Amino acid sequence: MVTTVLEVAVGLCALLTLQSLINVRFFFLAPDKSVRSKSSFDILIPARNEEFSIAECVQSAISQLEAGSSRILVFDDNSTDETPTILDTFADDRVEILTNNQNPPEGWLGKNWACNQLAQKASGEYLVFLDADVILEPSAVSQAIALMQRHSLELVSPYPRQISKGILGLLIQPLLQWSWLTTVPLGIARRSSRASLAVANGQFLVVQRDAYLASGGHQGVKDKVLDDIELLRLLLAHGYRGSVIDGTHLASCTMYKDSQELIDGYSKSLWCAFGGPLGSIVTVSFLLYVYVVPCLGFFNNNLEIALIGWTSGLAGRLITDIKTGHRNILAALFHPVSIVCFAYLNIISWWRHTHGALFWKGRTL
């Protein structure tokens, strides 16, 4: 009986690894460096207490302004650190700083409100939402827009290369791309309007302005913690098409500077990532069953099954890590430990949610 349970887990692990291989080989769209769009765009940067990254982020955005009508709008959302002072040092007339000294209106989350305000000021053909901890490579935006136009998409989410800090970061951050490259059939998702297949990352997100406005924009997702995915779902519901794409060579992002910040960041959103408590239980249990349970074979005389299961999980992790720029083989070797840590973060997130203890950037959620 125990052997059968382990064999089923190993079989599921192998299928998911095959899914990741198919995705990175055939369906994970990558921009072409030699092809650039000349369409106008506005880069929209919501910023709250971003003194450690805002200067480099804005400077990288300035390097994108190849089209004469393009510009950068930064929304300083009542920052209490040195962010306003740093923003004042940018004298480029293509950079406009919007200042907010109040909390968001009732019913709005902070970032969603900031993005909404920025979008109202924008006038380019494309809106480029960019987190303040993202650094763009030269011509990243025009490459992303060119890919959108080639594939007739109204939204693309170039997934940046994730820079991991600390042991917990090395274990957890690669799971961001691994999770959907392993479980979502990207070829089908790109042609489907099913909300369950939507994959997006608000760190770097490009959307046609007309489609954004026609769908309701951030007004339609004003209270959603996962505003990026919900925004894509909103566009899909209005008949538009969008997709995650390979942003490994377009941008990089350092989401968290230490382990405590990572715990706080994941806690604010994991509770709503899987559709409710039952969805969280099912998802986390499935991951533990497929990637952790087979390893128990190392301790109960099922060494061969355990080795096959661990190797299969390792292969899937390495496929996605190499494709997305992580390339930390040592961290990949401990993939089962990453899954256990992810399960623990889900527990923390639900505990904080049920006790009203969720917060981010100095605001209670």
- The pTM of the full predicted model, rounded to 2 decimals, is 0.94
pLDDT for 2: 61
What's the CA gap between 105 and 114, in Å, rounded? 11
pLDDT 10s digits, 152-188: 999 999 999 999 988 999 999 999 999 999 999 999 9
How far, in Å, CA of 98 to CA of 163, rounded? 28
225-262: pLDDT as tens digits:
999 999 999 999 999 999 999 999 999 999 998 999 99
Output the CA–CA distances (angstroms, integers) from residue 75 to 100, 114, 122, 155, 321, in the order listed. Answer: 7, 6, 12, 22, 33
pLDDT at site 329: 83
Whether residue 352 contacts residue 267, with contact meaning beta carbons closer than 8 Å, is answered with yes
- Superfamily covering domain 28-257: Spore Coat Polysaccharide Biosynthesis Protein SpsA; Chain A (3.90.550.10)
Provide the residue ranges of all domains of the chain, joining segments of one domain with +: 2-26+260-364, 28-257
Answer yes or no: are the C-beta atoms of 194 and 37 closer than 8 Å. no
Residues 6+ apart with CB under 8 A from 81: 49, 50, 51
Question: Residue 42: helix, strand or coil by DSSP?
Answer: strand
| 365 residues of the chain, pLDDT tens digit each | 666 888 899 999 999 999 999 999 999 999 998 898 889 999 999 999 999 999 999 999 999 886 556 899 999 999 999 999 999 999 888 899 999 888 899 999 999 999 999 999 999 999 999 999 999 999 999 999 999 999 999 999 999 999 998 899 999 999 999 999 999 999 999 999 999 999 999 999 999 999 999 999 999 999 999 999 999 999 999 999 999 999 999 999 999 989 999 999 999 999 999 999 999 999 999 999 999 999 888 887 788 888 999 999 999 999 999 999 987 888 999 999 999 999 999 999 999 999 999 887 777 77
Assess contact for 67 and 39: CB atoms under 8 A: yes
CB 1: neighbour CB atoms within 10 A? 5
Output 175-178 pairs: Cβ under 8 A, ≥24 positions apart: 175/338, 175/342, 176/201, 177/320, 177/323, 177/324, 178/20, 178/316, 178/317, 178/320, 178/321
* pLDDT for position 1: 60
